[in-house]
Each structure stands twice: as C-alpha cells, then as structure tokens.
Structure 1
Amino acid sequence: MNKRLFLSLLAVFAFQLLFAQREGLSGFSKGSTPDEVGKRLAYHFVNSRHDLYAGRYIHYAGVCTWNGAIDYALKTKDQKLIKLLQDKFEPFFTIEKPLLPPMNHVDYNMFGSLALKLYQITKDERYRKMGLAYADSQWEVPKNANPEEKAWADKGFSWQTRLWIDDMYMITVVQNEAYKVTGDRKYIDRAAKEMVRYLDELQRPNGLFYHAPDVPYYWARGAGWMAVGMPDLLRELPKDHKDRPRIMQGYLTMMKSLKTYQRPSGMWNQLIDEPDFWPETSGTAMFTYAFIVGVREGWLDAADYAPAARKAWLAMVPYIDQRNNVTEVCIGTGKKNDKQHYHDRPRNAGDLHGQAPYLWCAAALLGK
C-alpha cells in the first residue's frame, strides 16, 4: 500500500470514528439533552434535604449525587450552581458537623471525595484537610480493628476491605480524588491494588459480577459500582502503571458482556441476565456512564458503543417524573441467595442511588 492511499484511508477512518462519536453522544432533541436533564436534577438536588443514615450521618448516595451535580456544574460553567453546592456544604464546618460520617466504614469514608472535589474548585484548605483525613483513615488501622481487618491491612490493602462489589467505587473514588489533589502516587496505587484484588476475586468469566460470592445473581446496581469505578480509575491511572492492563482487561470484558444484555428498549433489568425482570434505572445509568466514558476515552469502539449509550440515555430520560425524580430505582439492597428477593425489591422515585448516575451521565455526555 502506498503512502498516499494509507493516509487517505487513515483520514476516512478518523472521520468515521468522529462521526460515530457525534452521532451517538450528541444531537439530542429538546427535553433529552444532557444540559437540560442535568440542570433539572442538579437544581433539584441542591434544594433538597440531606439524605441520612438513620437520621444520623450523610448517606453515600447523597455524596454521589453531590459529586455528580458538581461535575455537571463544572461542565456547563454554571457558577450559580457551583456556589449553591458550596453553600450546601458550608454548615458541615459548623452547625451540621455532627452529620459528618465517622471514618470507620467504607461507605462512610467515601464522603471525603466530596470535600476533595470542592477543594479542587475553591483551594480552600478546610476541604483538603477534611478530605485527606477520610482518604488516609481508610489505611490507618484503628486500635479496635478485628483480626480480619488487621489481616487485610497486613497484606497492604485497606482495613475496610470486605469484597463487596460496591467497595470498588467507595474506596477508589476517595483515593482517586486524593491523588488528584496531592499528586502522591500512594493514593492511586492503593486504589489500583484494591481494584485488582476485587477483579480477581469477584469477576465471573462472562465479565459480570455476582452480588456476592455466595449469591449467584447479577444485580444491576451492584455491578454498576464496578462499571463506574473502573473507568473513573483508569482515567487517572498513569499509563505505565503496572496494574493498568489488568484493570483495563476487567473493564473491557465487562463492557462487552453488558452490551449483549442491553434490552431492546435500551435499558438493563434489575437482574442483568433475566429478561422477565423489570427495567431498573440506577444500574442502567451506571452502565450507560461506563459506555460514554469508554467511547470518549477511545477505549471502546465508538461505532458499537456510542449508539448503545445513546439508546440507553434516550430510554432513561422518560423515567424522570414531573418533580425531577428518577423513578424505578431499586432501594438499598443487601445480598440474599433468593432470586425472588431481587424481583420483589421496592422501587423508589427520587432515590439518590438513581439521581446520582443520571447526573454522571449528563456530565459525561457534555464532553471530556
């Protein structure tokens, strides 16, 4: 092949790739644009009450939604929204300080990601100090740690390790933000080491994840935490990092499998591989986000995955009701070795487990 023909073919390929990306991830009609949807959900969140654990501490789903609203505000340069989100946080330094989660559980510690994200906007040292305390305490073994927690720490893992799939968002998100703030490789190394261990322990040959090793069901939102955690980590992980190939392999294997289980409607079901189960919005939004990021970063073939992401987004939008609540969100769900348990889970409107990944998708659709 001569040089001129090669360059011509290369130009055609580049045009086709760009067209596929634009065709799939832009050009939405009025009412379904990521700008409109993100604005509806972000302002709805900023005006809402705190979501609390049993009335005591800020819930991780609220933190996830807050982070998503910040990402959307930054993409749209909405300074008013950014200020409102800062103002919503400010009482945590004073009268709402008792609502801060204790630093003794994986779901609680991820609160630090929010403080670190706000630090990157404001450079206010109060955010940095608070956020790093949550990140560091994931590796600081408390005196009352049990033998299992001490054993994980002795192997170089977080003492909060428990091999639940949602940990691969809860641990990696705060370590990732700490890395972005400090540039200290220890934070990204921690996140990568954890991710590899969880992949080796929990990912099935088909790329998906059981809810737990003793619960052989592919629960959508559970798998969604892995689907989101991997690309978010890969975006920050240095190209020469020793764990990058393993994490990328896990991510690509999962994405390929998810694509085969996407329903004709564009949604994914409460149990991913059960065609008779109901379409669930939080898991669908998480998988859609993973597709969008993969296409944006060039990890996924745009011709295959951009249309799938677009189809999912257009299917998701009608599930937002007139009060700007995402509907058909499975409530918080513990593991149970009973298929009917998953089928019968209550479905909430406005549950922040669903509001959050919708905002992540809106921000991701608005560009890198």
Structure 2
Amino acid sequence: MKGTRFAAALAAVVAIGMLPDVAFAAPTAPTAACPDEAPLRQAADHWISGHAKPADSTWFNSLFIKGDLELFRLTGDAKYLKFGTDWGAKNNWKLPTNAPNYDGPEASQEYLDLYELDPAHPAKYIADAQAYVKKQTTRVQGGKVSDMDYVDAVRLGGLSAFARMPGHTQANLDAMAKMFSYTESHIYDKKASLWWRDKRWAGDTQHWSRGNGWIVIALTDTVAALPADDPYRVHYVSLLRDMSAKLKATQQAGGYWTADVDHPAAYPAPESSGTSFFTYGLAKGIQLGYLDSATYLPVVQKAWGWLRGTALRSNGVVGYVQGPSSHPSQYQPISPTATSNYGVGAFLMAGVAAAKFTPGC
C-alpha cells in the first residue's frame, strides 16, 4: 500500500510539474495508524501556509526543504514533494552565490534528495552541486584543506554530497576526508566527545548544541551514503558512537538538550533545533545498525516526546528555536514561541526518523 501511494505521488508531481497552473487536490488525511503523522503535518502545513512562495536556496530555507522531503517519504503526500520541487525550480537548481563562507552548499544535499526522488533523475537538478564538489575536490588536491573550519560548515558545506553524488570518485571521498580531518584536528574536543564551534572556543568547556547537531547530521548522512567497506566509514561511526554516548548522558529529564550541552544550568531553556538534530542522528544510527537500540531508542523516544508534546505548539508553531547563532548565549532566554524555517525543518527530520519506531508508521 505504501509503495503504491509513493509511486502515485511521484506520478502526480511529474504530471503537475508540466502544468504549473494546475492546483493539487486537498492533502490526504493523516494515516490513522501512524500517530506521528498528525504533529508532523501540522508543523509543516503551518509553515507552508505562511510561506507558500518558493524561497531562496540559502541554508535557512534548504533545511526546511530537507524536513519537507523527509515528510514526503513518510506520508507519500505529493504536496510536500511539489513544494520541494517548486523550490528547486525557483532557484534554477543553483547554490546561492551570496552566502558567507561555506554556508551556501547545504542546498546541494536537498537537490540530491529531489534528484533521487524524481524517477527521471534530471541532470539539471544536481549540475551545480556536481560542479561544487568537483571544484572543492580540486581545491583539496591543491593543498587547501581548511575550508570547513567551523562546525556549521561541515553540514552546510555539503559534506555528505561528496559521498552521495552520482558517479562520485575516490578522489571526491578522499577530499571529503581530508577536509573533515582538518576540522576534527582543530575543533574536536576528544575529551568531551563534543565539538567547539570554531577555533575561538578551542580549549573551552562550552559546546554549542546546534553546532554539535550540525556535526551529527553531517556525519549521519555521510555514513548512510558510504558502503560498509569504505575505509573512512569506521572512523565516522566511531565519532558518532562517542558523541551519542555523551548526548545520552546530557539529555535533560524533560527529553531536550539546552543550548550549552555540558552546562544546562548556564542557559536552562530548552533548545529545539539541536534537540531535533540529535534525535535525527540517534534514530538513524539505530536504523543503520551502529547504535544499540536498547540503549538509544529510549533517548530518541523521550526527545521526540518533548518535541511533539512541548516544542510543537497547538497552533502548529515549532518553538524553542535558537536564532542564527554561533554560541549558546545568543537569543537567550529562548522563547517557547521562537521559531524559524530551519527549526521546523529540523523538527520534521527528527519526527520522521523517530516515527520509524512507532507502530503503524
């Protein structure tokens, strides 16, 4: 039944994509057997209702598209795939040219999602992303390995795109590994099994929640794309296991994490974007077999329980999202109504990953 619904949704989007003025039918009702669909749809639909016009391809919007497409994979509802495809088309399948540092290539990963979901696999969807990976590989081969020198860049710089890109070469994977190795050697706090945001915090005991979330989702999606015998995979998995153990130990009684992972008393307000990224990574780690279900599934379920029961408000707003930041002290105290496109996207990513363990989903 799910496979049929999935195929039908894809066919609908392909057909309607040729007729842009034709509206979609009303969205299908949530599947009664899957209790996680309703809160996920509520969050996505609330955001989409206020932002129906496709936005630019900066990371803020790209992260929402990531969550939107994860929700499509769960529900098979064509409106979510159409929203993502319209976004890609509006941006001509290009990475942003005005994003600071390495914040722009996040979109490469969402273009890859859309390329994979479209049965025709249009080359134009990923042409600019392929050019970015090729250019970056050449830079690394020329000795420039330090581009991803802050935690955001590991994800926003498109780390997983090097492994996911169709036709990727060993040179791409080697370049990815060299860039990541530089980052790890400069801002990974091995003693704490957490990451400093950048060299300004190296040696400190402050570890920013969403910053560590960027690492978690970057490595999680990279590991998922690598074959089991890839020489780099073992190390990435080892890092994720060490981080997961630390996250389990620092999860708050309510199920969330605060903006400073190691010092919850410093900024005690819950922080939903970091919590969402951690939930996504832990859930995917269990699904991929490198995290023990008995140990980590309770952590996932507790975190998702807080996200859907507290962070998600009755009107569909995903709250407790720290604003664009580089350290825990910004946008404090975090408001229950503080929201953003990337925060909603992270919530959807977490909920879909957690739903895989919910009976009926």
Into which bin does the TM-score normalised by the smaller protein fall? Answer: 0.7 to 0.9
User: Quick one: which of 177, 195, 209 aligns to 1:220?
Assistant: 209
Which residue does 1:6 correspond to in 2? none
How big is the alpha-carbon RMSD for the aligned residues of Structure 1 and Structure 2?
2.9
Counting matched residue pairs gives: 314
Match of 1:200 in 2: 185
Which of 166, 171, 176 lines up with 2:152 in the alignment?
166
User: 2:142 aligned with 1:154, yes or no?
Assistant: yes
Answer yes or no: is 1:175 the counterpart of 2:183: no
Rounded Cα–Cα distance in structure 1 between residues aligned with 2:256 and 2:341: 19
Letter in 2 for 1:173: S
Could you say what secondary structure the match of 2:258 adopts? Answer: coil
- Are 2:68 and 1:69 equivalent residues in the alignment? yes
How far residue 103 of structure 1 moved from its aligned partner, in angstroms, is: 8.0
Question: Per-residue deviation at 1:156?
Answer: 5.7
Q: Deviations over 1:203-248 (max 9, x none)?
A: 2112011222332211111111011111211111222222222212
Aligned equivalents of 2:43, 2:135: Cα separation in 1: 32
Q: Is the 8 A contact 1:118 1:127 kept in 2?
A: yes
Letter in 2 for 1:33: P
Gaps of 5+ in 2: 1-31
Q: Is the 8 A contact 1:116 1:132 kept in 2?
A: no
TM-score computed with the length of structure 2 as normaliser: 0.77
Cα distance in 1, alignment partners of residues 100 and 152 from structure 2: 16
Structure having the larger proportion of residues in helix: 1
Q: What's the CA shift string for 1:23-48, capped at 9, x where partnerless?
A: xxxxxxx8993322222233334441
- Between the aligned residues of both structures, percent identity stands at 21
Cα displacement (A) at 1:313: 0.5
Within 5 Å, give how 1:299-310 maps onto structure 2: 299-310=290-301
Judge which range, 276-285 or 110-119, deviates more. Answer: 110-119
> Which residue of 105, 108, 111 corresponds with 2:104?
108
Partner Cα distance (1:191, 1:363) in 2: 27
Q: Does 1:135 align with 2:133?
A: yes
- State yes or no: 1:191 paired with 2:176: yes
Distance 2:53 2:261 in 1: 31
Residue of structure 1 equivalent to 2:317: 325
Residue number among 41, 44, 52 corresponding to 2:43 in the alignment: 41
Report the more deviating stretch, 239-248 or 223-232. Answer: 239-248
Is the aligned partner of 1:257 residue 2:255? Answer: no
Residues 285-319 of structure 1, C-alpha deviation per residue, up to 9 Å, x if partnerless?
11111111111112111111001110111011121
Aligned partner of 2:289 among 288, 291, 298 = 298
Q: Paired residue for 1:149? A: none
| Rg larger for | 1
> Which residue is 1:20 aligned to?
none
For residues 106 and 81 of structure 2, the distance between their equivalents in structure 1, rounded to whole angstroms, comes to 20
